[in-house]
Amino acid sequence: MVVTGNSKIYDVKEVLVSGTFGEVARCCIKGQDKVVALKVMSRQYENEFLNEVQTLQLLNKLTNFKHCFIKLNDSFTYRGFLYQEFELLDQILFDYLKKRGDTLKVAELRVIAQQILVALSALKQLGITHTDLKLDNIMLVNHEEQPFIVKLIDFGFACETETLKEKGILHNLAYRAPEITLGLPRDEAIDTWSLGCLLSALFLDCFVFPEENKYDNLRIIMKLLGQPDKKQLDEGTLKKGALSRRAHKMLTVDPANRILPDDALKHPFITMEHLDGASDKCYVKKARKLMRNVQPFPSDGEKWLDTRNATPESHVFHESPRGGS
């Protein structure tokens, strides 16, 4: 099969992923020694398509954080379908775990956590919330050559954080922050909660909170972590009985007290300060080796975001002059 884009012709070699929103194929560009990923969607998902294009055009212009997000090369229509050309990455984290058949080691978990926290920090600085952080939306770049180097993908549901209140129910229950189910005010902290659920699943090989029923989901969350205070519950649209204990960091029920990505990056788990005096020198050496290829979080003295060119495009959808039939 051949697909004609804006200025390229794609020779489709293999369908890599097939899902609700469409398919992703490995393609060769004719006349070029280049292999890319081509995503195709029907026009019923045009809003998500345009949203992802606009968001990635912004994120891909970030000087210091291009490594955090999948690179979008082009977008176009062809024969009534919507196409996006991406850099070709290795595999989604979910598929890797299925093939591996085992949970991740703590040192491996740390590398992934650090990279996604850097991505969330960049998004927070720009006032963007991903809203769909899960195992399927993190990809290994090239696991054989760069173990556990990952990128965040799928920005079809990303939005400006200030517009979150206008959105309906977001997330699969396994990753859903309690404030969403309770109908409470929400902000980018919903991504931090999702990351906490994701990292727990990577370590335990199961989700901590039930994904079948929202009431069971809330019951277990509040049994383990406590509940929002009375003022928050009074503002919500779904009420739940009282429990007392409250935990902190990523899986804190109250989003106002949930750890920020910047602060999480300074936690000893990420910095590995607590390993300085560890007796198992072999483990420490392996853990530090895994982190060596991860781009460091900028220090306070470095420029956080270079947004001189990172402004939303006024027109993000470029229709191929040959493709609209």
The single residue listed with the structure tokens 């750890």 is 259
Q: Beta-strand (E) ranges in the chain? A: 2-4, 9-19, 22-29, 35-41, 72-78, 81-87, 91-92, 128-129, 138-142, 146-152, 159-160
Positive or negative torsion for Cα 133, 313, 261, 97: positive
Tell which residue, 80, 73, 82, 149, has the closest CA to residue 111. Answer: 149
Q: 39-45: long-range contacts (C-beta < 8 A, 24 or more apart)?
A: 39/83, 39/84, 39/85, 39/86, 40/3, 40/81, 40/82, 40/83, 41/81, 41/82, 41/83, 41/84, 42/81, 42/82, 43/80, 43/81, 43/82, 45/21, 45/82, 45/156
CA pair distance 192, 180, nearest whole angstrom: 13
Identify the active-site residue in 132, 154, 187, 254. 132
Say whether 132 is catalytic: yes
Q: How far apart are the first and last CA of the chain?
A: 17
* Residues taking part in catalysis: 132
